[in-house]
């Protein structure tokens, strides 16, 4: 049996390992997937990513398969319905923030042709490959995540602080923070 060396944060269980091996750090250029991660990262603020990952399918159902066009249309009745949904994080500010983010997401798409064009312009369309040896070296924020955060806030996005944006950058492969001896780092 082959034993893969992974970033040790993902060794909790198969759900985490699968996420690490098949998603985390892979460059994402698809607007639907970028919106999905934006929603999930919004709800993750102040919580563990594992908590959100376990509820991912519930979020998918609650937020119209992460369809930003539909989420932008959510009205008060839908907000109250979501507040009763035990399958998601029932934080009214985050629910309302997600709707505001869908509206802002659409405006960014109108301005730049796609959200992908907008977000990836910050890295000239290419992932930033960091070379950390230990998990403890990986930052929670960066000057770039701070810059993106400020720009998103100016555009009306909510729950997009520098830490949330850095996590989004990691999840969507804008930064590759796999540690140097991780099989995912060496397989790229």
**Catalytic machinery residues:** 19, 41, 49
SS3 for 103-150 is: HHHHHHHHHHCCHHHHHHHHHCCCCEECCCCCHHHCCCCCHHHHHHHH
Number of H helices, E strands in the chain: 11, 2
Tell me which DSSP letter residue 176 carries: E
CB 135 within 8 A of CB 7: yes
Rg (CA), the chain: 17
- In angstroms, the CA 76 to CA 96 distance is 9
SS3 166: helix
d(CA 2, CA 95): 42
Max CA distance (Å), the chain? 53
């Amino acid at each position: 049996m082959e034993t893969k060396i992974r970033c040790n944060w993902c060794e909790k269980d198969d759900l985490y390992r699968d996420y690490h091996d098949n998603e985390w750090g892979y460059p994402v250029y698809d607007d639907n997937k970028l919106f999905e991660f934006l929603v999930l990262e919004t709800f993750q603020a102040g919580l563990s990513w594992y908590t959100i990952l376990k509820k991912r399918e519930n979020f998918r159902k609650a937020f119209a398969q992460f369809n930003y066009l539909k989420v932008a249309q959510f009205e008060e009745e839908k907000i109250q319905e979501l507040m009763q949904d035990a399958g998601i994080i029932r934080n009214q500010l985050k629910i309302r923030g997600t709707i505001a983010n869908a509206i802002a997401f659409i405006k960014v798409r109108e301005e730049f042709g796609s959200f992908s064009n907008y977000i990836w312009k910050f890295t000239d369309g290419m992932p930033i490959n960091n070379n950390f040896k230990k998990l403890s070296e990986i930052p929670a924020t960066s000057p770039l995540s701070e810059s993106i955060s400020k720009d998103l806030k100016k555009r009306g996005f909510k729950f997009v602080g520098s830490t949330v944006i850095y996590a989004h950058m990691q999840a969507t492969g804008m930064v590759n923070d796999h540690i140097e001896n991780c099989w995912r780092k060496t397989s790229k």
